[in-house]
Amino acid sequence: MKSKFWFVVLLFGLFIFVTSCGNSKTEDEDGITELGDEFDKAKKHSPLPDEVKTHDIKDSSTSTETAGDSLAVFLIIFAVIMGLGVPFFFWYFVPFGLWYKAWLSGVRVGWWKLVKMRLQSVPQPLIINTMIQAENAGLKLNAQDMISRYLAGVDIIKVTNTAIRAVNAGFEISYNELATQFLAKVNVETIMHALITAHNADLTDVTLKQLAAHYLANVDVIKVVDTLVSAHNAGYDEFTLDDLKEHYLANGDIVKTVDAFIAAKEAHYHNLTFKDIASIDLAGIDVRQAVDSAINPKVIETNAVTGVARDGVQLFMKLKLTLRANLKNIIGGATEQTVLARIDESLSTEIGRAASHYDVLQSPFLLADKVEQQQLGKGTAFDIISVDVSEIRIGKDVHAELAIERAHAEAEQAKARLISAEEKVQTAMASAFLDGKLSIHEYHEIQNTEADTHMRKQLGDSANPKKPGNEDKHH
């Protein structure tokens, strides 16, 4: 670029130099002419011989011929310079083909404007071709504005394509406005796509500046606009683009939230607002699942609950609960585990209040109704729709086992007392031996009597065998 510039400067310098030489030679010729006229006058009045006069005339003619040769050289050099300089001027500063192409397309750009582009290092084909494209699309652009925007760092092609798209979509958005948004680091193609999408869905209150502001706030404007359009197409306009922006910036899932909102409205939850649904999402709850559980109640089964009726018979029961999510209480409300714990406790209590396990077996639904009437879902995230018995089993007879355990305990106590009495007898006998109150002969008679008594008992038991039921009773 610099070498071409200095080459042009050299050509113009040479041109000026030759022009100066030509002017000097012309002045010399004018001086010679004047001298010739004075010489003719002097010749008439001069006393000099004719030979001297003739010699002076020859010198004058020679000077005239020299001046003519210089003028010819000048004309030749001038012709060479113009022959090389003019084509180079149009090739380097004014690309004639590009200018003519613009002229045929109705784009008028002066030669001086093209020279100015070259001097400012502005790519002429980029500006001219972009203006031709815009002209063919019905968009009028000014060459000076294009040059200024390019030098400011605007992506001419991107902004122009966006402006053409705006014109085709029927928007009255100036090229300079789009260029300004581009310089503000806004993706003009993205916001234009979002703007067209919104207006095609009759959301005419959405503006370019609003979308640009959302984009600069790191909002996914296309996602937000698509979500707003989905709600609008479903017939719900209870929230705005700014509401979605706030929910998006709060790290909410706008797609799930809007889907849940639409589903709730379709299920006739008319008292719910968009903020209610958004709050559920921001609380870390799967809002779509929560709304689904409110629309379609779910059935859960409790674990086997153990209870003992008043007659001492143990019962095992399972209940099936039909729960519906309470969207108003889902934030801060007790969870499903709390509901199950309350049900287990209530069921065990109701079994214990039954007079007999037969009553429970005959009418288990009565017990389930009592549990349901206690409103155990209060303060939780669920409403209990129904409570049904799914399984019931009989366990141990707790009273009988307690009686057996009591008999065993009493037998152990009697045995302990017997051992204690025998120890006392042995102690008394020892004292009697020491005191001389009991002799060895008397002690042997006592042992013989006990052995005889034991033998008679065994003989009696062998003569009267026990009945099968007696042993069970004994045990």
Q: How confident is the model at residue 282 (pLDDT cuts 50, 70, 90)?
A: very high
Q: Are residues 145 and 180 in the same domain?
A: yes
Q: Are residues 220 and 191 in the same domain?
A: yes
Q: What's the rounded mean pLDDT across residues 1-27?
A: 51
Q: What's the rounded mean pLDDT across residues 5-34?
A: 50
Q: Are residues 262 and 121 in the same domain?
A: yes
So what's the pLDDT on residue 7? Answer: 52
- pTM comes to 0.60
In a domain, 414, yes or no: no
Q: Are strands 313-325 and 382-397 parallel, antiparallel or unpaired?
A: antiparallel
- Return all residues near 338 (Cβ < 8 A) that are at least 6 apart: 380
Q: Are residues 328 and 278 in the same domain?
A: no
How many angstroms separate the CA atoms of 341 and 45, rounded? 150
Q: Are residues 179 and 45 in the same domain?
A: no
The span from the first CA to the last CA of the chain, in angstroms, equals 121
Picking from 71-80, 205-214, 371-380, which range would have the lowest pLDDT averaged per residue? 71-80
Q: Are residues 462 and 393 in the same domain?
A: no
- DSSP run (H or E) holding 334: none
In a domain, 411, yes or no: no
Q: What does the block give as tokens for 124?
A: 């002429």
In a domain, 406, yes or no: no
CB 344 within 8 A of CB 302: yes
Q: Are residues 118 and 240 in the same domain?
A: yes
What mean pLDDT is reported for the chain? 78
Q: Are residues 231 and 207 in the same domain?
A: yes
So what's the pLDDT on residue 67? Answer: 54
Phi-psi map region of 97: left, alpha, beta (phi>0 left; psi -120 to 50 alpha): alpha
- Residue 261: alpha-carbon gap to chain centroid: 18
Q: What does the block give as tokens for 246?
A: 């706030």
So what's the pLDDT on residue 54? Answer: 45
What is the domain extent for residue 458?
439-475
In a domain, 431, yes or no: no
Q: Are residues 324 and 459 in the same domain?
A: no
Picking from 65-69, 341-345, 419-423, 456-460, which range would have the lowest pLDDT averaged per residue? 65-69
Please, is 179 exposed, middle or buried when counting C-beta atoms within 10 Å of its C-beta (0-12, 13-18, 19+)? Answer: buried
In a domain, 416, yes or no: no
pLDDT one-digit tens code per residue, 308-347: 888 888 889 999 999 988 888 888 777 888 888 999 899 8
Tell me: pLDDT of 261 over 80. yes
In a domain, 18, yes or no: yes
Q: Are residues 169 and 282 in the same domain?
A: yes
Q: What does the block give as tokens for 471?
A: 């042993």
- DSSP run (H or E) holding 249: helix 241-249
Maximum mean pLDDT: which of 21-35, 174-188, 410-424: 174-188
The CATH number for 368's domain is 3.30.479.30
Maximum mean pLDDT: which of 31-45, 176-190, 373-387: 176-190
Task: Choose among 160, 166, 167, 165: nearest CA to 182.
Answer: 160
So what's the pLDDT on residue 262? Answer: 94
So what's the pLDDT on residue 250? Answer: 94
Last residue of a domain, one of 399, 426, 448: 399
Q: Are residues 186 and 279 in the same domain?
A: yes
So what's the pLDDT on residue 157? Answer: 92
Q: What's the rounded mean pLDDT across residues 358-364?
A: 85
So what's the pLDDT on residue 9? Answer: 55
- Return all residues near 238 (Cβ < 8 A) that are at least 6 apart: 273, 274
pLDDT one-digit tens code per residue, 86-107: 555 555 556 767 777 878 878 8
Q: What's the rounded mean pLDDT across residues 172-193?
A: 92
- DSSP run (H or E) holding 364: helix 364-372
The total of structural domains in the chain comes to: 4
Q: Three-class SS of residue 315?
A: strand
In a domain, 101, yes or no: no
Q: Angle CA(395)–CA(397)–CA(403) in degrees, nearest 5?
A: 155
Q: Are residues 67 and 193 in the same domain?
A: no
Tell me: pLDDT of 280 over 80. yes
CB 300 within 8 A of CB 336: yes
In a domain, 428, yes or no: no
Q: How confident is the model at residue 252 (pLDDT cuts 50, 70, 90)?
A: very high
